Chain A
Amino acid sequence: EAGVTQFPSHSVIEKGQTVTLRCDPISGHDNLYWYRRVMGKEIKFLLHFVKESKQDESGMPNNRFLAERTGGTYSTLKVQPAELEDSGVYFCASSPFEGRTNTGELFFGEGSRLTVL
């Protein structure tokens, strides 16, 4: 069974440019999460989808970040325009839907490293 895959693995862009990160969750996983780790600090939650619906986007830093999950399958995270402080590793994770007690394991991708110059 394929795991969570993320693309690209590394992206280097200049300030003001646009970058789109993609995540393909494990097939059948309704929950999809985006997290970010900046400069060796803690991994911070960005948002959570259940199928195509945004369940919680409380961690999105600002309106330069846009996440979508069309059809409830893969997800994209677009940063436009990118700023220096957006540099970091963006992780995607998925898990099966477990109803009211979603306390199970998250399955993570390898992450997409974003460098903004």
Chain B
Amino acid sequence: GAGVSQSPSNKVTEKGKDVELRCDPISGHTALYWYRQSLGQGLEFLIYFQGNSAPDKSGLPSDRFSAERTGGSVSTLTIQRTQQEDSAVYLCASSFGVSGGTDTQYFGPGTRLTVL
């Protein structure tokens, strides 16, 4: 595809339910990132994949959050036992994953998660 795609675009769930968010990166991009953006909190990093491995999971806020990536492409972010504070826009980004610090990340449209 032309850009990063994410699904669903909106998700409303009840507290305590599990949710899965999907990200499909730009073709050829080996690096994939999850961020979340909530009011007053700005954009915060969650996890980074290079290929199928996750060298940096430092941003996952609790063990209720997990993510996987298979085939070096699609990634799924899973939130178990959702809480109201999980309500946010979850953004996925991808990049070529080149070294040197000039790697540029391109964002998908995001998934707006609302936990009732």
Q: Do A and B come from one complex?
A: no
Residues in chain B within 8 A of chain A (CB atoms): none
